[in-house]
Amino acid sequence: MNQQTTFDKVVALSKRRGFIFPSSQIYGGLANAYDYGPLGVELLKNIRNYWWNYFVTKRDNIYGLETSILMNPKVWEASGHTDSFTDALAECKNCHQRTRADHLIENYFQKKKQEVKVEGKNTEELYQVIVDNDIKCPHCGKHDWTTPREFNLLFETQIGIVPETQSLAYLRGETAQGMFVDFKLVLDSISPKLPFGLAQSGKAFRNEITLGQQVFRTLEFDLAELEYFIEKKDWQKQFEFWKSEVEKFALSLGINQKNIRWRPHTKDELSHYSTLTEDLEYKFPFGFKEWYAVAYRTDFDLKNHMEKSGVDLRYTDPKTGKKFIPHVIEPTFGLSRSLLVILTDAYHEETDKKRTVLKLSPSLAPFKVAVFPLLANKSQLVDKAKTIHTMLKESLSTTWDERGNIGKRYFAQDEIGTPFCVTIDFDSLKNDTVTIRDRDTTKQERINISKLENYLNSHL
């Protein structure tokens, strides 16, 4: 099975089993927009909660925030996003389809099974690569491109009802700026001591033009960011520390280590606010692509907001009384992209067992356990099974299934990643035992109902 086939099967499964749906499908959809179905929303929620617990709840010096999606447009001017938050866009003169020039080039060489580096190339260099390789439009097949031009990724909107009184605003392109502009409020309210971090997760928006890799890159996405405020002299040590923490987190999601690698940004590729950024890349079926990142943002953001707003955003050392602008290390996590990584990495086809299984980490699985009556037409079995289902649902995410034969039910739960299945049969009526089946090994064992919760909790 080739890589494209694997990815196509992951996409098909995610739609068929209710993880990811195309947005507005009954109206023909909307490019680069997706919805999360009943299982997808559970998986995404579990990823989000796991991230929060890992980086915020368990740490004494990380504090959470939830800032507004809409902010004063001066925030984005001061942060440099209105001028520098751009990508290079090429337009086909024949069909007028637009696409990111770097993605056009990367996809061309990927189909030829060749690697190409486009990071840091300017618009003229990208155009030359397109011309030299006679790269054709993926929509109409013609080779007739405009020279790529820069376009801003921020979504513009208007605040106000009457057109004459409307004012320009932006949907946030990152969650970080909310944490920077609230920095003084945090200092004044809880008086944290350096080093400390601010963290939040939520929706972000980018006016992306992509060639379609499902939720890898979308217009609207779930993002989690952590701004860790430090003294300048400690930045290298802290950068390496957070790289290590980010990788540990990625592996704790159940991802195979051979599928991840770190890649430093080239000098020309760096964002306007960063002097050093490294991407943790995942080996998707379409190649190694960025998943998470760690950036050294220096004092760029706080310094600019202090200059543009006139508000003192310096930190006062409680021991020396010295005032200074802290520097920042920023770990960034694409949570929507994490869902795609997790589905891809967990997807397995086992020909010997004739099944497809998602080997999701139990902590992330949408359902931890499925409860089955052996036969749906035997009321005693159904009643007993419903009692157990209700009992387990008090503490565990539990699903119920009485459709078809027991083998098909097992395989259906394997396909959505449910770690355990509990079957109530006729012996259950006699001795209060049930059969519990492990997703990964498919082994089954009998266990007393009184011990069932403890067994599940100890294995999840």
pLDDT in tens, 341-392: 999 999 999 998 899 999 999 999 999 999 999 999 999 999 999 999 999 9
pLDDT score of 211: 59
Report the C-alpha gap between 95 and 141 in whole angstroms: 9
Q: What is the DSSP string of 351-404?
A: TTTTEEEE---TTT-S-SEEEEES-TT-HHHHHHHHHHHHHHHTTS-EEE--SS
Give per-residue pLDDT as tens, 383-424.
999 999 999 999 999 999 999 899 999 999 999 999 999 999
Structure token digits, residue 375: 């036969």
pLDDT score of 420: 98
For 6, how many CA atoms within 13 A lie in the half-sphere containing its CB?
18
H-only helix segments in 212-299:
235-252
Q: Where in the chain is the domain with CATH 3.30.40.230?
A: 86-152
Question: Does residue 70 have a pLDDT over 90?
Answer: yes
Structure token digits, residue 203: 């929706």
Question: Does residue 1 have a pLDDT over 60?
Answer: no
Contact call for residues 205 and 217 (beta carbons, < 8 A): no
The predicted model scores a pTM of 0.89
pLDDT score of 165: 65
User: Which percentage of the chain shows pLDDT scores above 70?
Assistant: 98
User: Across residues 131-139, what is the average pLDDT?
Assistant: 87
Three-state SS for 221? strand
Residue 105's closest CA among 125, 132, 140, 135?
135
User: Across residues 100-129, what is the average pLDDT?
Assistant: 79
Q: What is the DSSP string of 25-56?
A: GGGT--TT-EEE-HHHHHHHHHHHHHHHIIII
Q: Note the CATH number of domain 367-459.
A: 3.40.50.800
Quick one: angle between helices 379-393 and 452-459, nearest 10? 50
Q: Where in the chain is the domain with CATH 3.30.930.10?
A: 3-67+176-344
Mean pLDDT of the chain: 92
Give per-residue pLDDT as tens, 292-324.
999 999 999 999 999 999 999 999 999 999 999
Report the C-alpha gap between 431 and 448 in whole angstroms: 8
Q: Specify the CATH architecture of the domain 86-152.
A: 2-Layer Sandwich (3.30)
What pLDDT band is residue 3 in, cutting at 50, 70 and 90?
Answer: low
Give per-residue pLDDT as tens, 236-290.
999 999 999 999 999 999 999 999 999 999 887 888 888 999 999 999 988 899 9
Q: Where in the chain is the domain with CATH 3.40.50.800?
A: 367-459
CA-derived radius of gyration, the chain: 25
For 139, residues 6+ apart whose C-beta sits below 8 A from its C-beta are 92, 95, 97
Residue 332's closest CA among 275, 256, 276, 279?
279
Give per-residue pLDDT as tens, 12-22.
999 999 999 99
pLDDT score of 223: 97
Q: Note the CATH number of domain 3-67+176-344.
A: 3.30.930.10
Question: Does residue 222 have a pLDDT over 70?
Answer: yes
Q: Give, in order, the Cα–Cα distances in Å from 31 to each of 5, 145, 211.
A: 22, 21, 9
Give per-residue pLDDT as tens, 30-56.
888 999 999 999 999 999 999 999 999
For 295, how many CA atoms within 13 A lie in the half-sphere containing its CB?
24
Question: Does residue 131 have a pLDDT over 70?
Answer: yes
